[in-house]
Structure 1
Amino acid sequence: MNKTQAEAITQAILEPDVRAQEDIQRRRAAEALSVARRRQVALLMLIGCAIGGVTAHFLGVRFTLGIIWGGIAGSAFGWFVVWLRSRPRAT
C-alpha cells in the first residue's frame, strides 16, 4: 500500500467524524445565538417593566398593570431590535 492509498483510507475513516463535529459545532453556535437573543429580549423586558411601574405610579394607575404593560411593550421592542439586528445587510 502506498502513501496516497493510506491517506485515502484515513480520510474515508475520519470524514464522517469531521462532518459530525461540524454539525455539532453549527448546532451549538445556533443555540448560543438563540440564547443571546433571548437574553437581550429579557433585559429590554425588565427595563420596560421598570419604566411601566414608574409610569403607573405617577399616573395613579395600578402598579401591577404598569409593570405588565411595560413588560409587554419592552418584550415587543426587544424582539423588534433582535429582528432588526438579524436581518441581512444590503450592500
Structure 2
Amino acid sequence: MIRRRWNDLRVGQHVLVHDDDDPALSLAAGQVTNVDRATGSNEVTIRIAPVNGPERLVRPSRLAVHFDTGEPAERCWRCEMRYP
C-alpha cells in the first residue's frame, strides 16, 4: 500500500493482510484497531483472522496490506508469487 493511503487508514476499516506467519503468505481478513501517528509512516495495528489459527493483533508493514475492496488496486509481489 502506498504511504499516502497507509497514513489515511482509520480505526474500523477492513483490510487484507499477508500473514507473515503463514509460509504461503496468504491473505487474512482484518480490521484496523489502532493507528499511531508518526513522522513518515504511521504505526497501524490490525486484528486478523487467519484461515488456520486464532484471531490476533499484528503490526504489518504497509507493503503487506491491501484495502478490502474485492479488486486488486496495485501490484504486489506477494500476490504475484501466490497467483502467477
TM-score (norm 2): 0.21
More helix per residue: 1 or 2? Answer: 1
Higher relative contact order, structure no. (Cα contacts within 8 Å, ≥ 6 residues apart): 2
Q: Which has the larger radius of gyration?
A: 1
More strand per residue: 1 or 2? Answer: 2
